[in-house]
Structure 1
């Protein structure tokens, strides 16, 4: 496999945003040590327009 795997972490724009952003660095630390890239994507309506 020539390409490292990627996890797509979805960005939220409502109440769970605090949990999303506080958990993201933990996921990045564990995934980074395993060679996995974590990509943040905005899936809100405003992000899709």
Structure 2
């Protein structure tokens, strides 16, 4: 049985969003070689209201 690892990368609103989108490709590049999936989730206020 193959068990793959997964990292949940959360997106937030306003200024942290810039850090999220600038760091996410770097995290994905490092984790791809290790076979780890990176999944994004929106935890911003607008995302929580729409959910």
TM, length-normalised to structure 1: 0.86
Q: How many residues align?
A: 49
Q: How far, CA to CA, are the matches of 1:47 and 1:32 in structure 2?
A: 27
RMSD: 1.2
Q: Runs of 4 or more off by more than 2 Å in structure 1?
A: none
Comparing 11-20 and 29-38, the one that deviates more = 11-20
Q: What runs of 5+ residues in structure 2 fail to find an aligned partner? A: none
What corresponds to 2:23 in structure 1? 23
TM, length-normalised to structure 2: 0.83
Q: What runs of 5+ residues in structure 1 fail to find an aligned partner? A: none
User: Is the Cα–Cα contact under 8 Å of residues 13 and 45 in structure 2 kept in the other structure?
Assistant: no
Structure 1 residue 13 displacement after superposition: 1.3
User: Is the Cα–Cα contact under 8 Å of residues 11 and 42 in structure 2 kept in the other structure?
Assistant: yes
Higher share of residues assigned helix: 2
